[in-house]
Structure 1
Amino acid sequence: MAGWAVFLAGLGAALALMTGAWAASVVRRDASLVDRYWGLGFVLVTLVWWGLAGWPLQGLWIVVPVFLWGLRLSAFIVWRNWGHGEDGRYTDMRAGRSDTAFAARSLVTIFWLQGALVAVIGLPMLAVIQADGLRWPLAVAGLLAWGVGLWFEAVADAQMARFRRDPGNRGQVMDRGLWRYSRHPNYFGEIVVWVGFGLLALAAGGWWAVPSAVLMILLILRVSGVTLLERRLHESRPGYADYVRRTNTLIPGPPRG
């Protein structure tokens, strides 16, 4: 099957998954269900591409990391958001619109948009699966980066979840564990994961897929991750300005002062 046809098959699978998620969101009036399907989307498109390539053993270099990363991310978001209703970001988008109008809008601007992004950002997976071989030093470096990033992301998420479970911490700033050294250690871990995926794409000779990993990193830094969260925390946490003064934004480092 031609390269574009393989890509489009993955895109179609991602859009189908997100359409199902959208239908559930309409019933539940909760557009934040899309967040739970983000990691699963990468798992699905990677599986589709791997299957269309004939299940090559080399594909395991990217299939296993994507499965571990994507399933952990989706499972964590399901657990974290269970019983909390719609996230405020989507509630703000819903405001002033009828349920019908918001449903139509959210299908395109939330669910299908994220489905398309999954396929485009997932190109490093396709590059590794379709490659004739791997440059082993780069491939090993990619796996090491992925492992370090996944560790940071998982540990930071677990530490924050434990902090939030304590009612005494309500309204307080989390500055313990990895959060003592970085204001966003989970996003730092996510970025390092995608550096790993980019290195794996380069190891496969898929230089054309590296911009997809860069796009993901830019989205984390400038759109849906660090910048958005910083603005919200400055508004909702009285002690956040002091935390900003003494703690690195992203890359972990010793506290200042």
Structure 2
Amino acid sequence: METTRALGDHSAHPAHHLPVSTVGILQNTLLPSLSLHSSLSLVAYTAARVTKRVELKDWLWPSGLVANAWYNAVVHPSFSENIPISSALSNLSWPQKLLLGGVTVWGTRLFYRIASRSVRRGKDDPRYDGVKQESGFWNKAFFTVFLPEAVFQAVIGLGWSVPFTTGAAGAVTSPPLDYAGLLRGLAVGLFTAGLGMEVLADAQIEHQKKQSDDLCRSGVWSIVRHPNYLGDALVHASFAVLAYASGIFHPVSVLGPVANYAFLRFVGGDKENEATQESRYKSQNPSKYAQLEDWRQKKNSFWPSVKEAANPWTWALVAIGGAGIVVESGLRRYLRA
């Protein structure tokens, strides 16, 4: 049985450890992240204004969060400790490497999905057609649209910036040693199941669009109305579970997945998506609008109902999560051999 110390590798980045107080952690993680995301948001806003495409802020969402992870995990310690980038990367503990890899894989896949869809469409996302008609939209858009999302991104980034920046020195609680391995497996399972749900949701809806103009209601879309958002929430939750299992957890980092969930549910996720769908379908596609109304009565928006335990697609995702656990375990043993 591995100990929490072995899992967390408390020696990682010894010179990079920072004060464990909540105020100290926020000063050294949240403030730099706010600066990073605000700067990137200004660049995205400028490009969006020039091209008249608000959706460029969506390109920034995954790429900015990946940049945040690499800055906190590798770039900042490299400069602060005056060591090569490669050394900063190799100094990461296995859980930190797993965390960095997870954020990178999630963000890269999402960026490709958003960017490729945008390029194929050749024009702005229809979700933003309405807001662009508002008087003086572009003059206030940085402060009303782009900057608020930068703040959300900075808080979401706490899910990994705290474990990267403080490591074991910032940990205030750890699981019993007997459960550390189980919790790490749970984290890996949540990540792979969530990522798998996102990939399947995107692939299935693209296939549906090629077949007919009906609402996508099969595959993982038969579990909830917005499986891609649920998958995203599972991915971000897995980061907090991994940090706790590895002895590099501070409660502040929980703000990351909580902020991500809040954004997906109440700001720019399923709430915004369905409001746009309802308005568009009602005026342009009454048949699809009727399907949406019917689907609302049958399926939950975000969290599955209890009856989805009998849905074969639910078990397919469980199997994907299990496969991820097996692969991670084998890779960890091989690299440590």
Determine if the TM-score, normalized by the shorter chain, exceeds 0.5.
yes
What's the CA shift string for 1:156-211, capped at 9, x where partnerless?
Answer: 11111222234xx22x2111211123211111111111211221343322111112
Q: Secondary structure at the match of 2:53?
A: coil
Q: Secondary structure at the match of 1:205?
A: coil
Please state if 1:32 is matched with 2:76. Answer: no
Which deviates more, 72-81 or 241-250? 241-250
2: distance between equivalents of 1:209 and 1:238?
Answer: 42
Q: Calculate the TM-score normalised by the size of structure 2.
A: 0.67
2: distance between equivalents of 1:210 and 1:201?
Answer: 10
Please state if 1:94 is matched with 2:94. Answer: no
What's the CA shift string for 1:76-96, capped at 9, x where partnerless?
Answer: 011122234222333222214
Structure 1 counterpart of 2:167: 131
2: distance between equivalents of 1:182 and 1:9?
Answer: 37
Structure 1 counterpart of 2:291: 239
2: distance between equivalents of 1:127 and 1:141?
Answer: 20
Q: 1:151 pairs with 183, 196, 200, which one?
A: 196
What's the CA shift string for 1:119-164, capped at 9, x where partnerless?
Answer: 1111010122131288643333222211110110111111112222
1: distance between equivalents of 2:118 and 2:223?
Answer: 26
Q: Which has the higher contact order (CA 8 A, sep 6+)?
A: 2
2: distance between equivalents of 1:231 and 1:115?
Answer: 23
Code of the residue aligned with 2:219 in structure 1: it is: G
Structure 2 counterpart of 1:105: 140
Please state if 1:66 is matched with 2:66. Answer: no
Q: Secondary structure at the match of 2:129?
A: helix
Unaligned 5+ segments in structure 2 are 1-15, 19-24, 79-87, 282-288, 312-337
Structure 1 counterpart of 2:10: none
1: distance between equivalents of 2:137 and 2:186?
Answer: 44
Q: 2:77 pairs with 53, 71, 77, which one?
A: 53
Structure of larger gyration radius: 2
- Number of matched residues? 249
Offset at residue 11 of structure 1 (A):
2.4
Q: Calculate the TM-score normalised by the size of structure 1.
A: 0.87
Identity within the alignment, %? 24
Cα RMSD for the two superposed structures:
2.3
Structure 1 counterpart of 2:320: none
Please state if 1:192 is matched with 2:206. Answer: no
